Amino acid sequence: MVVRPFSFPRQADGTALYTFSFWLLCISNFLFSASFSMMIPELPDYLTRLGGREYVGLIIALFTLTAGVSRPFSGKITDTVGRVPVMAFGSLVCFVCGFLYPYLLTVWGFLTLRLIHGFSTGTKPTATAAYVADVVPATRRGEAMGMLGLFTAMGMSLGPAIGSWLADDFSMNVMFWTSSAFALLSIGILLRMPETLVNPEPFRFGLLKLRKDELFDWQAWPPFVVLLLQSVSYGTVLTVVSTLSGLLGIANKGLFFTVYTVASLVVRMVFSRTSDRYGRVPVLLVSTTALALSMGLLMLVDPANANARVYFWTAAVGFGLASGMNSPTVQAWTADLADEHTRGRAMATMYIALEAGIGLGAVAAGWMLNHVPGVAGIDASFGFSGVLALGAVAYLAWYQRRRTA
């Protein structure tokens, strides 16, 4: 048997699939995702200590609100001014907000900062996805989005664990400032990347005036529907899992995120080209079913049950498997459907669904935690998310039948 040495993927003409700029983008994404994710597990308890227990659901909801509102603007600026400036702006917002959290010590000050912080994910991911679509052939987009997602997932995996460690062993302020430092490093890397937009325009405030046709790209409607229904589960997990971890006696509230992201990493490494080979919709049918099953498992996590932790960690793995297939596949599907000259708008439309779904999941989960007593509130939030995930499965099945009819 001949053992072939490892080599990076190449295109049909022999040139490297991933350029130096692509690797810089991956590292920047790692730092960016670690920056905003490291504080997520600690924020519910932090807001409670500030006196805002009833506003826990708004931690994610406010963040996603401004992220969603800013998407049409970031899509237009990405298609006119350039990909790199929009990415740098998103990292800059993370840098400023991470630095300011220790100084805003009222409930309303905290919630206002969460609202502003949302502009970070409302801008950088839009331009990042457009940048990747610019530099990678259409037939390899799923693979490239998967590779980029590896670095994003590593940031999402290590970030919560690092954040909880810093908060427990040092202080919340140290965690916030470390988050800010990660974002600053992300900006430094972006400034070394070449722009891929042809004939970029200088920024002017007139570009922020949107026409009706610039608010939404209807070519991205199918991915929009699927991602909207899927991402409710993500909003629920972000809001509820830290509470569930505490009920199970798990000290580090970021470990669920670490486990699910490691599972996501494995999927991205092993199955990165699956959607390029077999199609976006078939892969999404499998991954969205896995997402619904993971929500069902989380409903079974009752602290009084001897198998509670088994269900909890199995659900984390299942959630990671679903995430590892969903994210790059939806991104590649959106790029496939988009017009070359409005790619930023299409990506922005896709991310509007992400933010809306996460926000809906966070608000619904927060309401259920406050109005449904005990573990039943947690079960209800995961049940709601699982039903919507099954709705996405039904839509994908209908879409596939219509395409093949």
Give the model confidence (pLDDT) of 245-260 as tens digits: 878 887 776 678 778 8
- Out of 49-53, 55-59, 177-181, which region has the weakest mean confidence (pLDDT)? 55-59
Position 4 scores a pLDDT of 36
| pLDDT band of 272, cuts 50, 70, 90 | low
Tell me the percentage of the chain whose pLDDT exceeds 70: 93
Q: What's the pLDDT at 9?
A: 53
Residues 6+ apart with CB under 8 A from 22: 132, 135, 136, 144, 148
User: Does position 383 have pLDDT exceeding 80, yes or no?
Assistant: yes
Give the pLDDT confidence of 298-330 residue by residue, as tens digits.
988 877 777 888 888 999 999 988 988 888 888
Tell me the CATH number of domain 20-196+204-404, given options 3.40.630.30, 1.20.1250.20, 3.30.1440.10, 1.10.238.10: 1.20.1250.20
Given a contact cutoff of 8 angstroms between Cβ atoms, the answer to whether 79 and 341 are in contact is yes
Angle at 374 between CA 365 and CA 294, to 5 degrees: 50
Rg (CA), the chain: 20
Highest mean pLDDT among 12-16, 161-165, 229-233: 229-233
pLDDT at residue 214, rounded to an integer: 67
Q: Encode pLDDT of 52-92 as tens digits.
A: 777 777 777 788 788 878 888 888 888 888 888 999 999 99
For 320-363, the pLDDT digits (tens) are 889 888 888 888 888 888 776 777 778 778 888 887 888 888 88
Residue 202 in this model has a pLDDT that exceeds 70: yes
Give the CA angle between residues 22, 28, 30 to the nearest 5°: 105
Query: What pLDDT is attached to residue 244?
Result: 83
Higher pLDDT, 278 or 251: 278
Is 145's pLDDT higher than 80? Answer: no
Residue 52's pLDDT is: 77
pLDDT band at 16 (very low <50, low <70, confident <90, very high): low
Q: Which residue from 272, 240, 198, 188 is spatially nearest to 44, judged by alpha carbons?
A: 240
User: 167-175 contacts: CB < 8 A, separation 24 or more?
Assistant: 167/42, 168/251, 168/252, 172/42, 172/46, 172/101, 172/102, 173/101, 173/102, 175/38, 175/39, 175/42
pLDDT at 7 over 50: no
Nearest to 281 by CA among 361, 368, 399: 399
What's the mean pLDDT when you consider all of the chain? 82
pLDDT at position 225, please?
Answer: 93
How far is 255 from 57, CA to CA, in rounded Å?
A: 20
pLDDT for position 228: 94
Angle CA 334–338–342, to nearest 5: 125
* 240/195 Cα distance (integer angstroms): 40
Q: Which of 254, 325, 324, 195 is CA-nearest to residue 34?
A: 254
